[in-house]
Amino acid sequence: MESINIVSLSGRLTADAFTNESKSFARFTIAHNFAKDKVVYPEFVMFAKNGKFEKKIPFDLLKKGAAVKVNAYFYPDTDKDGKPNGYKFVVKTVEPLTKEEEAAEDAAAKADAE
């Protein structure tokens, strides 16, 4: 059996993406609504270079409140001593939601809040 490791989530950024001076990565969090009073805040990291692949990080999109669709995979994370520290979501692609997707997302969040 082939191993599958794909995570696709949509939501709104909770803050502007964090990066370093050389902008070699971006870290960001989205708010993803499941149901009334059930929101998760997954954290993502996107690298400008990941192995042999290079990609442009869309910093203009990664702003607080932006509605996005993120495709990622999860990867074991370690602390500074190399000990297991959960996992991280590594971004493959991030794109803005279409107006229709954004409206549906907002309607679902509003209905869940009522």
Q: What is the pLDDT of residues 1-14, one digit of tens each?
A: 788 999 999 999 99
**H or E element at residue 113:** helix 99-113
Average pLDDT, the chain: 88
pLDDT tens digits, 17-52? 999 999 999 999 999 987 778 899 999 999 998 777
For residues 114 and 38, is the Cβ–Cβ distance under 8 A? no
For residues 83 and 77, is the Cβ–Cβ distance under 8 A? no
Query: Model-level pTM?
Result: 0.83
Identify the weakest region by mean pLDDT among 46-50, 51-55, 61-65, 79-83. Answer: 51-55
The confidence score (pLDDT) of residue 72 equals: 96
The confidence score (pLDDT) of residue 50 equals: 73
pLDDT for 95 beyond 80: yes
Please give the single-letter amino acid code of residue 38.
Answer: K
